[in-house]
Amino acid sequence: MPSKKAQWKTFVFGCFKDNKQQPSLETPKMVSKKTCSSRISLSDLSDYSSVSVMSDLSNSLVGSNLYIFTCKELKEITNNFNKSNFLGEGGFGKVYKGFIDDKFRPALLPQVVAVKALNLDGKQGHREWLAEVIFLGQLKHRNLVNLIGYCCEDEHRLLVYEYMERGNLEEKLFKAYLATLPWLTRIKIAIGAAKGLAFLHEEEKPVIYRDIKASNILLDADYNAKLSDFGLAIDGPEKDQTHITTRVMGTHGYAAPEYIMTGRLTTMSDVYSFGVVLLELITGKKSVDKKRPTREQDLVEWARPLLKDSHKLERIIDSRLEDQYSIEGARKLATLAYQCLSQHDKSRPTMRTVVKTLEPLMKLNDIPIGHFVYVAPSEVTNVEVSLNVNKKENEMCDVDNKSVVKTIDEEKGYQIRRKSRSNRRRIKPLTKPRDVYSDTSLYKTLGTNLYSPKQNK
């Protein structure tokens, strides 16, 4: 009987032959803690970049739920990768929306999918593609994006994922022009991402994600967070090791300091990166932004010292929240972010501790009953308009027919503004007229289970 290592060699090397009629793999089986000791990793492959051996793909990933697609099929479901189906582009390739109907594959349910076509620049591109197939083909969790299948045909490398309706956290947090993420939604997203990382770190053979950032956290229709893009993921240290040493890779602004300085990588490196995401959720600012004032361009360097002081914390919390957040929750979240961003990796909490700290924040009820601001698009600015109102037209005017100065917001009844918690004077000119909704009642009205996890079937 061939060894597992040999079976995986046939998978890797088989990618380089033309596979036009490939059967789907066996019935899906969930990877559990009991079986993860047998999980195959990149380190089990002695030469995954070689093209000298060719074998059949159908023997690979036995027990997974992955489908093998042809290029022709993926062109069909994406309308030949039409621009109208273009979703975005990351570091590893362009992503397109695809539609699988009930006639596509007998065993495959009709659904909307996301198809990522990787840019292959040498061996590294293939390595990243292979890492995603290996990790997501074996690891299944509600907070990891579901890999449906892949295509490995000639020079083509494509991946097919479940479609995430809300896009990624980066888009919602930094590029949402009409509305900002409410406080509880931010906490929910943080909990989901934390659970995904905790799952990876607690495997018998731990996985270091190595690229946690806002753009890699995908959101479904109910804002459940799922980690995506496992191209940089790597197996963590064995039981008798404290760390692994590897080439520094990742995204500037998120990488842990000890990893940047020495190449020493542990699960605590992921914790630091997650701390950066928490800081982005608190402030509504990107980890690095050259457009900000010089001292504020590096978010961690500027904001971390302010997390310890509750009075200073109020200065950095995302102003778009309009004070509609839990005071106690903000303080606890700031403390957690401060711990995750410690310069010393041993001082950081584990991701399991992070999850246990975050979950109670969803139950805090000190969020004030008030409005949540939805910014309606408008070209009209918030300037003062002088109106000469005749006494017959408006009995509220004085008898001398003096000019009555009103703002556009006053005319439309939008002048309901909540005082700051600290009773400090806040002069904050509006640039656009605003429609006002309740943060909590908004979701009750919509009838969603936004803040309640779905029950497993």
169-363: what fold? Transferase(Phosphotransferase); domain 1 (1.10.510)
Find all residues with CB under 8 Å of 52, minimum gap 6, and list them: 13
Q: Does the pLDDT value for residue 205 go beyond 80?
A: yes
Q: Is residue 353 a contact partner of residue 274, using CB atoms and an 8 Å limit?
A: no
Residues 105-131: b if buried by 16+ CB within 10 A, e if exposed: eeebeeeebbbbbbebeeeebbebbbb
**Angle 452-186-300 (CA atoms, 0-180°, nearest 5)?**
150
Find all residues with CB under 8 Å of 73, minimum gap 6, and list them: 104, 151
Compute the distance between CA of residue 124 and CA of residue 324 in angstroms, rounded to an integer.
Answer: 45
**SS3 sequence, the chain?**
CCCHHHHHHHHHHHCCCCCCCCCCCCCCCCCCCCCHHHCCCHHHCCCCCCCCCCCCHHHCCCCCCCEECCHHHHHHHCCCCCHHHEEEECCCEEEEEEEECCCCCCCCCCEEEEEEEECCCCHHHHHHHHHHHHHHHHCCCCCECCEEEEEEECCEEEEEEECCCCCEHHHHHHCCCCECCCHHHHHHHHHHHHHHHHHHHCCCCCEECCCCCHHHEEECCCCCEEECCCCCCEECCCCCCCCEECCCCCCCCCCCHHHHHHCEECHHHHHHHHHHHHHHHHHCCCCECCCCCHHHCEHHHHHHHHHHCHHHHHHHCCHHHCCCCCHHHHHHHHHHHHHHCCCCHHHCCCHHHHHHHHHHHHHCCCCCCCEEEEECCCCCCCCEEEECCCCCCCCCCCCCCCCEEEEHHHHHCCCCCCCCCCCCCCCCCCCCCEEEEEHHHHHHHHCCCCCCCCCCC
Burial label for 76, CB within 10 Å (0-12, 13-18, 19+), is middle
Handedness of CA 70, 73, 74, 75 (dihedral sign): positive
Instruction: Go through the chain and tell me how many residues it has.
Output: 457
Hey, where are the domains in the chain? 4-162, 169-363, 371-446
According to DSSP, the β-strands at 67-68 and 147-153 are: parallel
Q: Which of 78-92, 193-207, 382-396 has the highest mean pLDDT?
A: 193-207
Q: Does the pLDDT value for residue 211 go beyond 70?
A: yes
Q: Does the pLDDT value for residue 92 go beyond 70?
A: yes
Question: Higher model confidence: residue 452 or residue 212?
Answer: 212
Q: What is the mean pLDDT of residues 342-347?
A: 95
Q: Does the pLDDT value for residue 453 go beyond 60?
A: no
According to the model, what pLDDT value does residue 248 have? Answer: 81
130: closest CA among 3, 237, 194, 40? Answer: 40
Q: Is residue 57 a contact partner of residue 11, using CB atoms and an 8 Å limit?
A: yes
The owner of tokens 């900000």 is 292
According to the model, what pLDDT value does residue 439 have? Answer: 47
Question: Higher model confidence: residue 59 or residue 133?
Answer: 133
The owner of tokens 């501790």 is 353
| pTM exceeding 0.85 | no
7: closest CA among 32, 35, 44? Answer: 44
pLDDT tens sequence across 370-405: 555 555 554 444 433 333 434 444 444 444 444 444
56 is catalytic: no
pLDDT tens sequence across 403-446: 444 444 444 443 444 444 544 444 444 444 333 334 444 444 44
> What's the CATH number for 4-162?
3.30.200.20
Compute the distance between CA of residue 267 and CA of residue 205 in angstroms, rounded to an integer.
Answer: 12
370: closest CA among 417, 423, 327, 318? Answer: 417
pLDDT tens sequence across 98-157: 999 888 888 888 999 999 998 766 556 888 888 899 899 989 999 999 999 999 888 889
49: closest CA among 128, 133, 136? Answer: 128
Q: Does the pLDDT value for residue 285 go beyond 90?
A: yes
According to the model, what pLDDT value does residue 365 have? Answer: 87
Compute the distance between CA of residue 98 and CA of residue 95 in angstroms, rounded to an integer.
Answer: 10
CA-CA distances (angstroms) from residue 453 to 147, 187, 352, 364, 456? 21, 13, 18, 17, 9
Compute the distance between CA of residue 272 and CA of residue 267 in angstroms, rounded to an integer.
Answer: 9
Per-chain mean pLDDT for the chain: 76
Q: What is the mean pLDDT of residues 195-199?
A: 98
Annotated binding site for ATP: 116
Number of other CB atoms surrounding residue 30 within 10 Å: 10
Find all residues with CB under 8 Å of 350, minimum gap 6, and list them: 198, 201, 267, 271
Sheet containing strand 67-68, strands side by side: 67-68, 147-153, 156-162, 111-118, 93-100, 86-89
Annotated catalytic residue within 211, 235, 270, 323: 211
